[in-house]
Amino acid sequence: MDRKAFQDCYPDMFSHCYGCGRLNERGLKIKSFWEGDESVCTVKPEPYHIGMKGFVYGGFIASVIDCHSTATAAAAAYRREERGMDTDPPLRFVTASLHVDYLKPTPIEGPVELRSRVTEMHERKAVIETDLSVSGTVCAKGMVVAVKIPASMMPDS
Amino acid sequence: MDRKAFQDCYPDMFSHCYGCGRLNERGLKIKSFWEGDESVCTVKPEPYHIGMKGFVYGGFIASVIDCHSTATAAAAAYRREERGMDTDPPLRFVTASLHVDYLKPTPIEGPVELRSRVTEMHERKAVIETDLSVSGTVCAKGMVVAVKIPASMMPDS
């Protein structure tokens, strides 16, 4: 089983994101993997990522859903082309819209698990739905519409 | 004109948020003010808050829309009761849902301006719509449904 994270296959140009870039030293550096047809990301919030004492702040939840979802869209696009994420040409998606329903407070102790499904996959657009949970309890749900970056905006290598 | 920010009136218990808490030393500490019937927040992203080089990452945008919107909901609730935000009993709102439409890349140079309107205001729920812009160009739009924290969950003082 290949345990290289989706984000570890991004070209350098797309590896500076605060949420998921392996080259952003100040960032969250989330990592996403396939588990069958679901993509999974486990992330540990820092103690200062709180909203109210004891609970994760909403922006952290939105941020990790956002980055994990665009990563999942890219991974699904490679799957659709039946090739690995570390093969050329690179495929990247950006967020057109993000929706988060906050169902209950998310304990800061974590770890926070994101588990996503690709509910729509088109040539240039994907829809990703996510359950965000701690210890098996779903605390938030996300829906991201991600769009493929045009080839003209992609790096040459 | 009273230039005390909404967030500077929060009780200590609600001042630890990474996005807006005046007591969170690691956080963004955003500040929101009324300008007529609009609430306004100006925030300068750090150079490492990028998605792609040169542009703000989506999670930062979602985070500041979230915190500014719940602050606006609280400020509107005090206005509805015709009293200042630094009077008791305190009123605070949390996010039930967050929606962001990313219209175009947001330049990292900023500053980023959020300008919001209260489009629904009920006893226990408010809807806040936001334009997020840089240099007058709207780069994202947000809609937050915020719900009032029950009195039973509020601090005693």
* Predicted pLDDT of residue A156: 52
Q: Which residues of B touch A102 (CB under 8 A)?
A: 94-98
The chain B residue lying nearest A99, using CA atoms, is B99
Q: Which residues of A touch B62 (CB under 8 A)?
A: 59, 62-63, 66, 98, 100
Ordered alpha helix ranges (H), B48-154:
58-80
Q: What is the CATH number of domain B6-153?
A: 3.10.129.10
B58 shares contact with chain A (CB less than 8 Å): yes
* Predicted pLDDT of residue B81: 95
A99 shares contact with chain B (CB less than 8 Å): yes
Work out the angle at residue B65's Cα, subtended by the Cα atoms of residues A59 and B127, and round it to the nearest 5 degrees. Answer: 110
Tell me if B101 and A100 make a contact (CB, 8 A cut-off). no
Dihedral sign computed on CA atoms, order A81, A84, A86, A92: positive
Above pLDDT 90, what percent of chain A? 89
* Predicted pLDDT of residue B157: 40
Cα gap A68→A42, rounded to integer Å: 10
Tokens of B110: 């900023």
Tell me if B18 and A67 make a contact (CB, 8 A cut-off). no
* Predicted pLDDT of residue A72: 98
Tokens of B126: 């408010």
A97 shares contact with chain B (CB less than 8 Å): yes
Measured from the Cβ of residue B142, the count of other Cβ atoms closer than 10 Å reads: 24
* Predicted pLDDT of residue B155: 58
Cα gap A140→A70, rounded to integer Å: 18
- Tell me which residues of chain B have a pLDDT lower than 70: 1-2, 152-157
Q: What was the ipTM of the complex prediction?
A: 0.95
Render pLDDT for A80-100 as a digit per residue (tens, 0 to 9).
999 999 999 999 999 999 999
* Predicted pLDDT of residue B31: 97
* Predicted pLDDT of residue A2: 56
Ordered alpha helix ranges (H), chain A:
58-80
* Predicted pLDDT of residue A141: 98
Sequence-distant (6+) residues with CB within 8 A of A128 are A69, A70, A72, A73, A116, A117, A118, A119, A142, A143, A144, A146
**A19: closest CA of chain B, how far (Å):** 7
- Tell me which residues of chain A have a pLDDT lower than 70: 1-2, 152-157
Out of B51, B66, B96, closest to residue A62 by CB: B66
Read off the pTM: 0.95
